[in-house]
Structure 1
């Protein structure tokens, strides 16, 4: 197969995506009512036709359409791609699985992966991924596996880094670490936040020092602080909670005390808690934050929104007992009931072949899962200097970290995290009570994890 030619580096935008829908059958869905109706009336793929559901940015939608078109032409088959908003994606898949109309192939984020892989709803593609497994770290392959079986392909990863305004830092005389191993300690990060808060009060801008991206489905990003403190959510066998290990002096308590202080010390806006509807990226691009924890997948939108109003850089997440980050990104999986499982498995492996993965990640400003591509480096469509920080940051994730966020019941744990952290950050729940409440639910779901595996 000849190398895949690069796509245009300039995003086409939503209107162009819709115009290109006829090429690969892209069907936009808007609103839950319309979503349920469309999915319920969709027929599954056939012997020479695959149906695929995706979500993501405009750039990612363009890429899925184009790569699906290329596969279709090379194989003489049809791949119909349906686009849905992320918040509605699981509703579409779940209703389709119940009705027998689920797409043959769909995109799923890693924290939700276990919900499907541990319950027999995905196609086992272990044999088809032998080559991929030799070029992907065990952590990423573990994210798409249950036991010793593989149920998806890790198409890409993304993670968070700390973006900062260069003009604000210059005015405050703050320099950032230029190597990951020299990342700020929690104490140093707190000193930086204090300086930024005091400077904003003095100049009357009211600009908050930073905000964390743990809203919507992102409560699991709080675990980054737990991992940095040297803790884990589960015991190594995933059989019970490890969150409260060490009691009041343990890593769980240290992480929660520190993150609660973000609100107590005026470092973050109150409206950026785990259940808030205000998203930090919008606050940063509008000039109301000096720093923001943000995923690399947001860089294309940041580039368009900020323009030349101010310059920003990226530095590493702070560290405590160790460095860490969160496992963001998405896998592609196939429905266990796909009409043509061989074609579905072939399409999945096509999408993560080196040429396709390089194209998707370089144009989408995403990080590849193939070690060979990470070591080679990609010609990212924009912000290559910032992507060096993200590429370093993603390497801090351990196999244990991945295991904690890809259990069959992690979707429920993620909801518990959002609810309990909210009460600790903005309510009157104590650190000890919050940790106990989360640990109780983790213990309850651990039993279900064992049953699923």
Structure 2
């Protein structure tokens, strides 16, 4: 029997939905999201929260600091974290939901959140985040946790793509890097710069690498959005990628390979990633996420100087929504304590501290306009902060739909055929449209 994700999440392997998700009574009484808050009745909220996440060393330190501050502010609540590898996070969570023992809190990427919001397993936090609080977030980023008009969790941080470039290569090619979105290169200017870099790179070096490998295939959508196209229609199910804009985006990105501006082993199914390629000196430019800066800077040390500049633009500027939300399980053991933690996590002071120490980007309006004291290469981070302003609510909706995992897999398959197999742009967008239609059925 085929097992789908809904069956796993709702305990469909013999446990049944009621047994799978309602078996655990909360520490504050019933575990449903509409249980009266003990805080509202004047009593202090107490209990222990379980928090499942993946994190690098710096992120773990940052989470530990936030948790310590929270426990000081809420002495009746303790938070126990469990750090698991990113590759196994969904398997870990699915097994917990199936067993009827979901974690109180967990970390989820925006491109995966739709798999949970659509299954009614997450806690609706509308009672904690009224409109005044919602308005403190960047609208496009708040949209990342909204499903059917209701918020499920908080947009904790984001990352997005900008371009890192070697200053020696640019000098040799006679190029001057744009310093702001207003000065961002057009596609034509980017192509001209790539041709010039191709004339000065040495040995096995190539002009650039793009960050669309593996699950990052969705980052190709930035080119589609820049061309003025969209993946999904207004219903967020029907495909609209089979368009002039879709074909234009495929053709332009195909040219990266036909012109040898990128290495063939850096396509969407490759295991060669921008951070390693750039630090290793095999590319003059790297499209990379801000979260990679600490690793890249530590790896490069003083081997060469590098800067950051915005993504190119066509009819519009656009970038990708990376990063993660923190959500609470609807049937967790202490939903009231979980709400308090979520609210604390995205307070201005805590978000500032987390982002400054990890090189990740904030979601609060007050911090996106502030000069954050990033610990690693703050001179580069302002480019990423500005690039993030190109992420729109409409585009966020397209990558947070429940069926996005299937769509992302289709992007990986069809783009690989276009880039390395020579599939035409018309065939590529037609195949993607068919995959989108099937995923949304």
Structure 1 or 2: more helix by fraction: 1
* Equivalent in the alignment of 2:354: 360
Equivalenced residue count is: 398
Question: Any idea what SS the aligned residue of 2:164 has?
Answer: strand
Please give the per-residue CA displacement for 1:163-217, whole angstroms capped at 9, x wherever unaligned: 00011111221111122112111111111111111212xxx43211001011121
Question: Any idea what SS the aligned residue of 1:163 has?
Answer: strand
* Equivalent in the alignment of 2:35: none
Question: Any idea what SS the aligned residue of 1:206 has?
Answer: coil
* Equivalent in the alignment of 2:435: 441
Work out the CA distance in 1 between the residues paired with 2:265 and 2:94. Answer: 31
* Equivalent in the alignment of 1:164: 165
Work out the CA distance in 1 between the residues paired with 2:396 and 2:376. Answer: 28
Work out the CA distance in 1 between the residues paired with 2:350 and 2:270. Answer: 37
Deviation of 1:45 (Å): 8.5
- 1:186-205 equivalence runs, <5 A: 186-200=187-201, 204-205=202-203
* Equivalent in the alignment of 1:75: 74
* Equivalent in the alignment of 1:385: 379
Work out the CA distance in 1 between the residues paired with 2:129 and 2:88. Answer: 29
Work out the CA distance in 1 between the residues paired with 2:113 and 2:289. Answer: 19
Work out the CA distance in 1 between the residues paired with 2:298 and 2:66. Answer: 24
8 Å contact 1:161–1:314 — kept in the other structure? Answer: yes
Q: Which moved more, 1:438-447 or 1:319-328?
A: 438-447
8 Å contact 1:122–1:335 — kept in the other structure? Answer: yes
* Equivalent in the alignment of 1:108: 108
Gaps of 5+ in 1: 1-42, 448-453
* Equivalent in the alignment of 1:180: 181
Matching of residue 133 in structure 1 with residue 134 in structure 2: yes
Q: Which moved more, 1:170-179 or 1:211-220?
A: 170-179
Work out the CA distance in 2 between the residues paired with 1:210 and 1:137. Answer: 31
The one of 214, 218, 221 equivalent to 2:219 is 221
Matching of residue 49 in structure 1 with residue 43 in structure 2: no
Work out the CA distance in 1 between the residues paired with 2:133 and 2:62. Answer: 21
Question: Any idea what SS the aligned residue of 1:422 has?
Answer: helix
* Equivalent in the alignment of 1:25: none
Deviation of 1:44 (Å): 10
Question: Any idea what SS the aligned residue of 1:217 has?
Answer: helix
- 1:330-345 equivalence runs, <5 A: 330-345=324-339
Gaps of 5+ in 2: 1-23, 28-45
Please give the per-residue CA displacement for 1:418-437, whole angstroms capped at 9, x wherever unaligned: 11111111114222111111
Work out the CA distance in 2 between the residues paired with 1:365 and 1:93. Answer: 27
8 Å contact 2:124–2:150 — kept in the other structure? Answer: yes
Matching of residue 90 in structure 1 with residue 95 in structure 2: no
RMSD: 1.5
Work out the CA distance in 2 between the residues paired with 1:119 and 1:60. Answer: 29
* Equivalent in the alignment of 2:312: 318
Please give the per-residue CA displacement for 1:113-147, whole angstroms capped at 9, x wherever unaligned: 11111110101111111243020122212110111
Matching of residue 287 in structure 1 with residue 281 in structure 2: yes
Deviation of 1:445 (Å): 2.3
Work out the CA distance in 2 between the residues paired with 1:242 and 1:299. Answer: 35
Work out the CA distance in 2 between the residues paired with 1:268 and 1:80. Answer: 44
The one of 412, 415, 438 equivalent to 1:418 is 412
Give the alignment's TM-score, normalised by structure 2: 0.88
